[in-house]
Every structure is written in C-alpha cells, then in structure tokens.
Amino acid sequence: MREILIYSMMAGLATALGAGIVIVAGKPSTKLISALLGFAGGVMLAVATMELMPEALEIGGTFPSLFGFVIGALFMHLLDHLIPHIHFSNGCEDSKVEMLKVGYLIFLGIAVHNIAEGLAIGAGMVANPSLGFAIALAIGIHNVPEGMATAVPLCLGGETPFKVLVLTAVAGLMTVVGAAIGGIAFQSSSGFISAALGFASGAMFYIVGDELIPHARNYHHYLATIGLVAGFIVGVLI
C-alpha cells in the first residue's frame, strides 16, 4: 500500500506542476499545449495497449478483460456527462467572474477524473508493481497539461498563485484517494484483477480518444500528431 500511495501522489502532484508552469511562465502557447496533450495521449495509449490489456488477458482471460474495458470506457463516458470537459479559454471576451467559474468547474472535473485514474494505478499495483509505476508515470505526464488547463482560467479570474497551486494540488491528490480504494478493492480473485486492469485500460482509452487527441488537434494538427507518436514511443520504452 505504501508504494501505491507514493506513486499515486507523484502522479497527482504533476497537476500542481502544470499549474506552476503557468504561474511562472504565463499562459502556454497553443503549440505547446498541442504537443503536450498529444504526448500524454501517446504515452497513455502505449501503456493501455502494451501493458494493461496484455496483463489483464494473461491473468484472467478474454471475458473479464473485455468486460472491464467496456465498463471503464462507459464509466468515463458517464463522468463526461456529469462534469465539464478540459479546455483552455482565450480569456479575451470573458469577464473575471466567468473565468473564475470556468476554473472552478474544471477543478471539480479534474478532481473527479483523478479518482478514476487513481483506481487504475491501484489496479496496476495489485497486479504488478512495475505495471503500477508505468500507469502512474503515464497519468503523471497526462496531469501536467491538466494542471495548466485548471490554472489558466483561475489566474485570469484573479486567484492568487498560492491558491491556484493549492487547488490544483488538491485536485491532483484525489488520485491518491482513488489509488487507495483500488489497492484495497482489487486484492481478490484473478478474474476481478483482470477486470480491474481492463477497466483501467478502457478508462485511459476513453480519455485519450475523447479529450486528449481531439483537443490536441484543435490547437495544432501536426504538433498533436508528432506529440502522439513521440509519446507512444516513450510509453513503449517505459
């Protein structure tokens, strides 16, 4: 359990790292956002396809793995209907009050998403510590642009840098909550662990397909693709 908490905390605090980059360097360019989102998507795809699903199939077979995969994707789809999508606002025509509202909505959305991502880390750690580390690393990379997405509207809305860092850290540490739950809940039968790994893979696939790649391509078509390819290579090497 100690390793689960450490890895999930490192992954979660990457959200505050993204916010810190915005505070120090200012609002990131759309090209940088595109490359980062694409890179995060590539890493997550590699971990989901090269690590999570093979491990799930080996532990419990086809049915539990695919069942978990579908449930993971459906779970993230449900979250998308309950919470806002990640996005960067231009902030040109929006008032500070509106920007602040957007920032807090994104904060809430990311906090809930991070609980689900923590479950993925917990499932991976139960199956194999090296797999859990790979998932935590992929999620940590993914959390950097998420932290940026949260920090930009909060800063434009007038929040102090300290409060922005605290909020993004709180959202990130929800990963630890999810990982702790996953680490306890998934210590059972091989079929349940297989389904849990499938769940993690399905959730990551949904995040990449529904959020990371579409947003990356909206900001810059070619850099998104370059980032995706580079991220996949790094994910395979992990």
pLDDT tens per residue across span 127-179: 778 878 888 888 888 788 778 877 877 887 788 899 999 999 998 899 898 88
172 versus 185: the higher-pLDDT residue is: 172
pLDDT tens per residue across span 60-84: 888 989 998 999 889 878 877 775 5
Asked whether residue 91 carries a pLDDT value surpassing 50, the answer given is no
CB 59 within 8 A of CB 117: no
Residue 138's nearest CA partner among 49, 219, 226, 65 is: 49
Within 10 A of 174 (CB to CB), how many other CB atoms are there? 21
In whole angstroms, give the CA distance from residue 111 to residue 147. Answer: 11
pLDDT tens per residue across span 107-139: 776 776 787 778 778 877 877 788 788 888 888
Kindly report the average pLDDT of the chain as a whole number.
80
**Domain layout of the chain by residue ranges:** 2-22+30-237
Q: What are the phi and psi torsion angles at 95 (to 5°)? A: -75, 170
159 versus 90: the higher-pLDDT residue is: 159
* pLDDT value for 165: 93
pLDDT tens per residue across span 194-208: 887 788 788 878 878
Q: Which residues have CB under 8 Å from 46's CB, separation 6+?
A: 138, 231, 232, 233, 234, 235, 236, 238
